[in-house]
Amino acid sequence: MSNATVVVVTSGKGGVGKTTSTAALASALAKEGYQVCAIDFDVGLRNLDLIMGAERRVVFDLVNVVRGEASIKQALVRDKKLNNLYLLPASQTRDKDALTEEGVASVISELRMYFDWIICDSPAGIERGATLAMRYADEAIIVSNPEVSSVRDCDRIIGLLDAKTKVAEDGGRMPKHLLITRYDTDRAKTGDMLATDDVVDILSVPLIGVVPESKDVLKASNVGLPVTLSDETSPASRAYTEATRRLLGENIPVTIPEEKKGFFGKIFKGRAA
C-alpha cells in the first residue's frame, strides 16, 4: 500500500486563491524532495496549467484519462524546473459532467502508487467538480480571505467535507487546515478587516498559514511560476513555505510574514487602503 496523501484545496467561493495556493504548496512540497502531483479539477475553466507555466505542454487531460482515452502517464505534465513535480491538467473543452465518480476514484488510486503528495485544486462552487475534487481526499486545506462572503462559503464547504467525502462516509473525520490568504495585517490591526483569530473562531478549523496580500503573487502568475519558486524571499512565498512545513507535520507557530521595510517605511507608510 502506498503512503500517498491526497489533499484537496477548496474554498467554495471563487477568486480567493485556490489555484495560486495549490501551485505554491505543490512546488514547496516538491522542493522538499517529495514526488508531487497537482490535479486541476476545474474542468472547463482550467488555470493551474497557466499558473504553473505548463500551458503549452498540455496534450491530454483529466477527462481523457477518466474516459480511458489516454493513460495517466501520457497526461501528466512534468514541471519545467522541478523534475519531481507533475501536473494533471483539467480539460478546457468539456464540462464538469464529463467526470465520473468511478473515473476519478481510479485516477486517484493509480496516482497514489506514483506520488507522495497529490494536491487537488478544486473548482469554485459546491457542484460536481468541487465534490469530486474533495471526494477521495485524506486532508483538506480550506482557503479563505478575511472577508464575510468567503468565510460563509468556507463554512458550507466544511459541511460538505464532513458529509460527502469518502473519509466521512466511512465514519472518519476529515482533517482540515485553514489557510487565510490576501491578509492585510495593518487593516486587521485597525479593526477594518477580520483578524486571523476571528476567522479561526468562526470556522473552528486550525490555522495552517496566513498569506499576506502581496504584489509578488501577481508577478509570479504573470510569468507562470508558483510564487514559492519565483521569489523565495517574498512574504507570500515564505508564508506558503511555512504552511508546507506544518502540512508535513512540523509543529511551528504561525507567523504572518511581512515585507521588509526600512525605518522610515515603518513610520510613514503611504499605503493605499
Partner 1 sequence: MNILSLFGKRGQSASVAKNRLQILLAHERAADGSDAVLISNLREDILAVVAKRIAIDPDSVRLEMDRSGDVTTLGIDIELPPTARAS
Cell reading at 270: 503611504
Measured from the CB of residue 228, what is the shortest distance to partner 1 in angstroms? 29
Measured from the CB of residue 102, what is the shortest distance to partner 1 in angstroms? 22
CB-CB neighbours of 260 under 10 Å: 8
Q: Which is nearer to partner 1, 69 or 186 (CB)?
A: 186
How does 154-173 read in b/e, with b if 16+ C-beta sit within 10 Å? Answer: bbebbebbeeebbbbeeeee
Residue of 259, 254, 211 lying closest to 17 (CA atoms): 211
Q: Which is nearer to partner 1, 170 or 250 (CB)?
A: 170
Q: Which is nearer to partner 1, 93 or 190 (CB)?
A: 190
Measured from the CB of residue 137, what is the shortest distance to partner 1 in angstroms? 20
Are 174 and 219 in contact by the 8 Å Cβ rule? The answer is no
Q: Which is nearer to partner 1, 191 or 253 (CB)?
A: 191
Measured from the CB of residue 215, what is the shortest distance to partner 1 in angstroms? 19
SS3 148: helix
Q: Which is nearer to partner 1, 78 or 189 (CB)?
A: 189
Name the residues that contact partner 1, by CB under 8 A. Answer: 147-148, 151-152, 155-156, 159, 186-195, 198, 201-202, 267-269, 271
Distance CA 17, CA 13 (A): 10
Measured from the CB of residue 89, what is the shortest distance to partner 1 in angstroms? 35
**E strand residue ranges, 189-258:** 207-212
Distance CA 52, CA 229 (A): 10
